[in-house]
Amino acid sequence: MKVMLHACCGPCLLEPYDALAATHDVRVVYANPNIHPRAEYERRRDVLLDYAAGRGIVVEEAPYDPAAWDAAVAGLEADPGRRCRACFRLRLGVAAGRAAAVGCEALATTLTVSPYQDPVAIREAGEEACAGAGVTFLLTDFRDRYGDATRRSRELGMYRQNYCGCRYSDDEAASTRERRRLERAGRREGAAGGTTI
């Protein structure tokens, strides 16, 4: 079957591509207007393209349209659950459109390799996007390959980002790292017999 694989970045492409290419004719689309800022978008894209070129993988890039992404998540910025669903719908909608345009019968996404993404939201967004484009959404769950994807991307020296992609996730990830830093510091202080109240 001819499958279009939506890819969010190079590290996440590794395992899903190999899994799908074992049984399908796979091409890749980089459709990620969520990524902020543009320099980060380009950095992730170039890592993906470098790897794909070395493997002879066909990749096309959808137009980078951050204004369309802003419109898709308008009003949902502070609600990550709903914001991410809208984000998935937009990106998979673009990818499904490209799949249909080049004669692919199905769409899959590398998003399902990440244990940090909501698989139900991805499935619902994918099915909705594909129904609109007249292609099948290929249901995948690559989370058991996340460890291998991490290992391989490190071995390849790939850039590995520390936030999902949008400006809100950059702030959220920074807050999470700071909270964990404070928790670790608190535990160290407690282990050293620090102050209790």
Q: Give the residues lining the site for ligand SF4 (CB under 6 A).
A: 34, 83-84, 87, 164-166, 168-169
Q: How far is the CB of 118 from ligand SF4 (least distance, A)?
A: 9
Q: Given the complex with ligand SF4, which of 46 and 171 has the nearer CB atom?
A: 171
Q: Given the complex with ligand SF4, which of 102 and 176 has the nearer CB atom?
A: 176
Q: Given the complex with ligand SF4, which of 82 and 145 has the nearer CB atom?
A: 82
Q: Given the complex with ligand SF4, which of 34 and 109 has the nearer CB atom?
A: 34
Residue 115 CB contacts under 8 Å (≥ 6 apart), including other chains? 143, 146
Q: How far is the CB of 121 from ligand SF4 (least distance, A)?
A: 9
Q: How far is the CB of 104 from ligand SF4 (least distance, A)?
A: 23
DSSP letter (8 states) at residue 167: H
Structure tokens at 170: 């950059």
Residue 130's closest CA among 99, 85, 86, 101? 99
Q: Given the complex with ligand SF4, which of 4 and 73 has the nearer CB atom?
A: 73
Instruction: Please report how many Cα atoms fall inside a 13 Å half-sphere around the Cα of residue 137, on the Cβ side.
Output: 23
d(CA 190, CA 28): 50
Q: How far is the CB of 97 from ligand SF4 (least distance, A)?
A: 18
Q: How far is the CB of 166 from ligand SF4 (least distance, A)?
A: 3
d(CA 165, CA 62): 16
Q: In Å, what is the CA distance from 6 to each residue of 13, 78, 112?
A: 9, 26, 10
Q: What Rg, from alpha-carbon coordinates, does the chain have? A: 18
Q: Given the complex with ligand SF4, which of 57 and 126 has the nearer CB atom?
A: 126
Structure tokens at 191: 């282990």
Whether the CA torsion 124, 126, 128, 131 is positive or negative: it is negative
Q: How far is the CB of 164 from ligand SF4 (least distance, A)?
A: 3
